[in-house]
Amino acid sequence: MSKEKIHGGGVFTVQCHDKDGNLKWEVAQPNLVVNEGLAFMNDSFFSGVGYDAGWYLGLISGTAPTIDAGDTLASHSGWSEVPVTSGYSGNRKAITFDSSTAADPASITNPTAAQFAMLNTYVVSGAFLCTVASGTSGVLFSASEFEAPGDRSVVSGDTLNVTYTFELAAT
């Protein structure tokens, strides 16, 4: 009898460019797919319940955030979102995924980076993926805090380019 398990996970890649387009820093950080995200994936794929192809990236602010498997958009006591109207222009950034690779691991990404034009000085400490452009009524799929060297400062005029890659692998 054959047994197979699937392992999945994502990585946020964030590049910060200054007002002149020079790369200031870059980080590629694995994420935690939260419980709500796991249930959403199962319900959407296997039951056809509540699927919405809209995906949005947001930024986490503050120092030393804590991501928890029980986090939702409505309740995430260990971290805060960079304020949408004062931190960067526009809402959370809409992304579109390309087609998945037909390999093991099967990988999918947003080939065009989401761009966050920073309006003020902030400490950016992570990123998250969700199903709504604003507010707390959608599904939080995954979130990640930056590891060493940790939180990073941005200033007005900086641009953050963010991509998200998700893989499923047979183990």
Averaged pLDDT, 95-119: 93
* pTM summary value: 0.92
The whole-angstrom separation of Cα 170 and Cα 168 is 7
> What confidence tens digit (pLDDT) does each residue in 23-52 have?
999 999 999 999 999 998 888 888 877 677
Extents of the domains making up the chain: 6-170
> What confidence tens digit (pLDDT) does each residue in 139-167 have?
999 999 998 777 899 999 999 999 999 99
CB neighbour list of residue 44: distance below 8 Å, 6 or more residues apart: 50, 51
